[in-house]
Structure 1
Amino acid sequence: MDIPLPGGAVDGSEDYSPAVTVVTFDQPLPLLRAPVPSSELGDSPVLAFRDAASWRAAWEAAEASLFSQCEAGARSGCSITATRKCKAPWWKGLFGGAKTDYQAREECEEREMAACLESAKEACIKFSKEKCCAPFRDARIASEGLLENTDFVVWGAERNGAAASSLCVANSQYSSNPGPGATNYKGSDLLDSLASEENRNSG
């Protein structure tokens, strides 16, 4: 709407262009799993990963995310712990005690922080693995070729440091042989298949 100005002039300077008036939204996240028919006749469809590679990618992304969150919380906790451990005793300031050596305190806090973070890193790796192992062992994976004509990808499937390397999914080969007519299989079936293959190769 044009705004009338003194003297009868009209202010048409308001910008109604799409760049100003259109609200943009983030793109929807890609599907993590897609529905596939159940292997059992008459059962409801089940959600399954596209293939073993996308299953592994999702596992690694979940581990990395949990590890990152755990490490961020541990960093805050370690900072508080280091400060408490290295501060001067309360009684040192009584009766005109010696002045605080801030250089020594800073060095103490650096040592305590490094030791605490090293301990927390191991705990966070273990925590992220334990939280992901059971859900992904029970997760369904579509049988080979079943979803090859669909176009869905796994969100957040990037690898991220040590937390993204699962002990349970250490093998780089993905293969499983579900029974005839099976539309999907469990992640545990794939892990068992990989473990058997490793045992044969090492035997």
Structure 2
Amino acid sequence: MDSTGTNSNMEEYSAASTVIKFDKPIPLLRGPVPHDDPSSGSYLLAFRSHQSWASAYESCESKVLSQCEHGARIGCSVNASKKCKPPWWRNLIGQRPADFKEREDCEVREMEACLIVAKDKCAGFAKDRLLRPFQDARIAGRVGPKEVEKLVCWASLPETERSLWRDLIGSEWLGEREFRVRTNYRAADLLGSDNNYKRFLG
């Protein structure tokens, strides 16, 4: 057998020619965790941690802002051109021809002013679209920030006073029952009154 033909056949069946490389799978943003309320279903989707939740928020916010600002640039460009173009009747009454340098400077000023306003509006638009869904999102964890605060307060009491407080306010307030069965908490509990999610990115 011809050695040249043999080498050619080997190249056709080599790993480089026959193996198909696939991209690595993208990890899921959320995974199933047992539902706290069995009447609502067996599982619900929750972020793995508050860091993954904050990263997802940041990524979505970046995409919304990018798309919004891209559309704003188009709109601002059209508006700047309309505002700075000379009136159609100028040539009819014999006025001097339009100064293109002056028009260019006018368009630059109008564009910059428009983009400043649009940037603030896009930030508000992104917040309106994302804050509510991400506040309602679930984060996997046995105990949430509110329960942690309760347990810290409870642990700081002297041993002799714990039973008294247990009888007065009940064990449910202390989170003892929830601490045993909860598998997740709402992101709104994490944020509290401060909606700055970036403090959880570290």
- TM-score w.r.t. length of structure 1: 0.67
Q: Which residue of 2 aligns with 1:126?
A: 124
Deviation at 1:120, TM superposition (A): 0.1
Letter aligned with residue 102 of structure 1: F
Q: Residues 186 and 103 from structure 1, CA distance in 2 versus in 1: closer, same or farther, beyond 3 angstroms? A: same
**SS of residue matched to 2:90:** helix
Letter aligned with residue 183 of structure 1: T
**Which segments of 5 or more consecutive residues in structure 1 lack a partner in the other structure?**
1-11, 146-173, 196-203
What CA distance in whole angstroms lies between the structure 2 residues aligned with 1:95 and 1:23? 72
| Farther off after superposition, 57-66 or 79-88 | 57-66
| Farther off after superposition, 59-68 or 89-98 | 89-98
The 8 Å contact of residues 51 and 144 in structure 1, kept in 2 or not, is answered as no
Q: How many residues align?
A: 155
Q: Residues 95 and 19 from structure 1, CA distance in 2 versus in 1: closer, same or farther, beyond 3 angstroms? A: farther
Q: Which residue of 1 aligns with 2:27?
A: 30
The 8 Å contact of residues 49 and 141 in structure 2, kept in 1 or not, is answered as yes
> Which of residues 73, 89, 92 is equivalent to 2:90?
92
Q: Which residue of 2 aligns with 1:117?
A: 115
Alpha-carbon displacement from aligned partner over 1:1-44 (angstroms, at most 9, x marks no partner) = xxxxxxxxxxx7xx846656766554332211000011124632
The 8 Å contact of residues 145 and 189 in structure 2, kept in 1 or not, is answered as no
Deviation at 1:115, TM superposition (A): 0.1
Q: Which residue of 1 aligns with 2:78?
A: 80
**SS of residue matched to 1:94:** helix
Q: Which residue of 1 aligns with 2:51?
A: 53
The 8 Å contact of residues 142 and 182 in structure 2, kept in 1 or not, is answered as no
**SS of residue matched to 2:45:** strand
Q: Which runs of 4+ in 1 moved over 6 A?
A: none
The 8 Å contact of residues 63 and 132 in structure 1, kept in 2 or not, is answered as yes
Q: Which residue of 2 aligns with 1:187?
A: 187
What CA distance in whole angstroms lies between the structure 2 residues aligned with 1:18 and 1:86? 63
Report the structure number with the largest CA radius of gyration. 2
The 8 Å contact of residues 59 and 136 in structure 1, kept in 2 or not, is answered as yes
Letter aligned with residue 29 of structure 1: I
**Which segments of 5 or more consecutive residues in structure 2 lack a partner in the other structure?**
1-7, 148-174, 195-202
Q: Point out which structure has higher relative CO (alpha carbons under 8 A, 6+ apart).
A: 1
Letter aligned with residue 191 of structure 2: L
The 8 Å contact of residues 37 and 45 in structure 1, kept in 2 or not, is answered as yes
The 8 Å contact of residues 80 and 107 in structure 2, kept in 1 or not, is answered as yes
What CA distance in whole angstroms lies between the structure 2 residues aligned with 1:88 and 1:21? 65
